[in-house]
Amino acid sequence: MTIATSFAPFRLKPWFSERVWGKTDLTPWFSDTGTTELVGEAWLTGPQCVVETGTLAGETLTEVSQKAGGEFPLLVKILFPADKLSVQVHPDDAQAAAMGETRGKTECWYVLEAEPGATVALGLKPGVGPKEVEASVADETMETLLMHVPVSVGDMLYVDAGTVHAIGPGVVLLETQQTSDVTYRLYDYGRPRELHLKKGLQVMKTQTAAGKIAPRQMDGFTRLIEQKYFVVDRFEIGGAGKITVPFEGQGCLVGLAGTGSIVTSDGDVELKMGQAVVVPAGASVTVETGSGATFMRCVAPVEKNR
């Protein structure tokens, strides 16, 4: 799906997803979630996110996307774990189709916050297969089968479909993924939530490409990851200035620090911390700041939009 270039860039209001492992306080990213329940995820480009700016204000991202004949290709979130997420796995596109799902779920995590010694679980230890995984659910030892990767602020981690993974407290992550919420829980630390062990064992892979991705310095920005489903880049403007940011494919800008504005035909759109501004494929936007800004560009490669 490609949102028509006749649509000016617009900012979305985050949608907050309540999770048993979440938090009540999401500062400094968000001061008000609209709920007193535990929030685990802020969906920045979720289907139900509402447009805040321009002529499309009040419409959901789904409604805007349907006008363009499809759906927005990337789901961008911020994750706020105060407790352990389940040990889980996602199918790839072919596996998802065989199970009656629309598509698989490949994702990546950019570390926004990390306490000293923080880790994420990414993949299985050598020699571990479905038999060992299934047995570990019964004896509650699955955590010992996982590769635990130390993380620091600024790290980018690739989580391809089929990777058994888990996230715990001590981190805040910006997640960019295929627009899919297909998750198979393998283990949930005894919490009374449904497990999907049979499906999970079918789609898990003993070896994957998951892991840390080294950043690459480009002309005016840092390329954090470039994969089949998404490209994520970090832009940093140190002081007053402006920069032109092109979009070959459909995507968004996400504010991380500082303040800036995006010049559009509908007027300037403020680039706010923790919020996404959707930019049409083929467009090029100018970001201006008076005192400096850091933001992400998350894009679906052109090949996925044809």
Length of the chain: 306
Calpha distance 22→39 (Å, rounded): 5
SS3 83: coil
H/E stretch holding 198 reads helix 197-203
Produce one character per residue of 84-116: b if its CB has 16 or more CB atoms within 10 Å, e if not: bbbbbbbbbbebbeeeebebbbbbbbbbbebee
Asked about 306 being catalytic, the answer comes back as no
Which residue in the list 11, 19, 103, 185 is annotated as catalytic? Answer: 185
Residue 210 and residue 252 in contact, taking contact as beta carbons nearer than 8 Å? no
Residue 114 and residue 156 in contact, taking contact as beta carbons nearer than 8 Å? no
Q: What is the Cβ-side half-sphere exposure of residue 22, based on CA atoms within 13 angstroms? A: 20
CB atoms < 10 A from the CB of 215, how many? 15
Calpha distance 185→55 (Å, rounded): 41
Tokens of 273: 């911390």
Listing from the earlier edge strand, what are the strands of the sheet with 156-159?
A: 15-23, 39-43, 74-79, 171-178, 107-114, 156-159, 211-212
Query: So which residues are the catalytic ones?
Result: 185
